[in-house]
């Protein structure tokens, strides 16, 4: 008599279904969102270009799932070449490199609308740890690298708990909590909380204690 087939753990069986549902949600939100916001993105791009020289869409290398690099798309909120002047990649409230249009975009997170293109391309998800710079990933310890186990997101568990104002170790722990407990229901909860957070304008800048404290 043949032996019964070994059954995979229920968690292992549910992972493909969970990932498929998450990707379907990503495509739905990013697809509809890209179409609905296309006119606004075009007008905002025009406003950016009229205020300051340079391409209105900003591209920057970021670390994605498993540390693989990709180009993130954002609407430019600072003067051209800002990363090479002043405080470099560190941005604080009142930074004189931020344009007037850019200040408005940052207040309502409109600069991140082109992130929807990254979601459609499969490089990002709607919900996940925010993508960081490759130079930051190079300084991660083994525990911190755990946040690279999933696709980076437009919003995430750390985002709805303080965004840039969070101290880096706390942000890492919140991201790791998400990686461990991620589910479709948690994603929906984060999306709902993100709407309230954006309208309230909390945590836009890192302040004295928030954000990355290492070398950039």
Gap between the Cα atoms of 76 and 99, Å rounded:
9
Virtual torsion, Cα 90, 81, 51, 41, nearest 10 deg: -70
pLDDT the model gives residue 175? 96
Q: What is the pLDDT of residue 5?
A: 44
The structure tokens listed for 60 are 């920057």
Distance CA 158, CA 175 (A): 6
Pairwise pLDDT comparison (134 vs 205), residue with the higher score = 134
Q: Judge whether residue 49 has pLDDT over 80.
A: yes
Q: Where are the domains of the chain?
A: 20-200
Average pLDDT over residues 42-55: 95
What's the mean pLDDT in 70-90?
81
Q: Which residue from 149, 162, 169 is spatially nearest to 204, judged by alpha carbons?
A: 162
Residue 63: φ, ψ to 5°: -90, 125
Q: What's the average model confidence in pLDDT over 165-184?
A: 91
pLDDT at position 4 over 80:
no
What digits encode the pLDDT tens for the residues 86-142? 655 666 667 888 899 999 999 999 999 999 999 999 999 999 999 999 998 998 999
8 Å CB contact between 130 and 156: yes
pLDDT of amino acid 153? 97
Per-residue pLDDT reduced to its tens digit, 22-43 = 999 999 999 999 999 999 999 9
Residue 70 burial (C-beta neighbours within 10 Å; 0-12, 13-18, 19+): buried
Q: Give the Cα-Cα-Cα angle 117, 168, 171 (nearest 5 degrees).
A: 60
Whether the per-residue pLDDT at 17 is higher than 80: the answer is: yes
């Amino acid at each position: 008599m043949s032996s019964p087939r070994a059954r995979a753990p229920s968690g292992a069986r549910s992972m493909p279904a969970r990932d498929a549902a998450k990707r379907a949600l990503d495509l739905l939100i990013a697809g509809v969102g890209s179409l609905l916001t296309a006119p606004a993105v075009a007008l905002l791009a025009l406003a950016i270009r009229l205020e300051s020289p340079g391409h209105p869409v900003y591209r920057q290398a970021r670390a994605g799932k498993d540390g693989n690099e990709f180009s993130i798309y954002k609407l430019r909120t600072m003067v051209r070449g800002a990363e090479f002047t002043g405080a470099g990649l560190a941005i604080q409230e009142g930074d004189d490199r931020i344009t007037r249009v850019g200040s408005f975009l940052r207040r309502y997170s409109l600069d991140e609308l082109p992130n929807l293109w990254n979601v459609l391309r499969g490089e990002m998800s709607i919900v996940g740890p925010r993508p960081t710079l490759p130079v930051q990933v190079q300084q991660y310890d083994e525990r911190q690298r755990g946040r690279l186990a999933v696709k980076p997101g437009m919003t995430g568990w750390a985002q709805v708990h303080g965004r840039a104002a969070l101290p880096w170790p706390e942000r890492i722990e919140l991201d790791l909590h998400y990686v461990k407990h991620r589910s479709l229901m948690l994603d929906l909860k984060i999306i709902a909380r993100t709407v309230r957070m954006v309208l309230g304008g909390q945590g836009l800048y890192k302040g004295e204690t928030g954000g990355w404290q290492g070398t950039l």
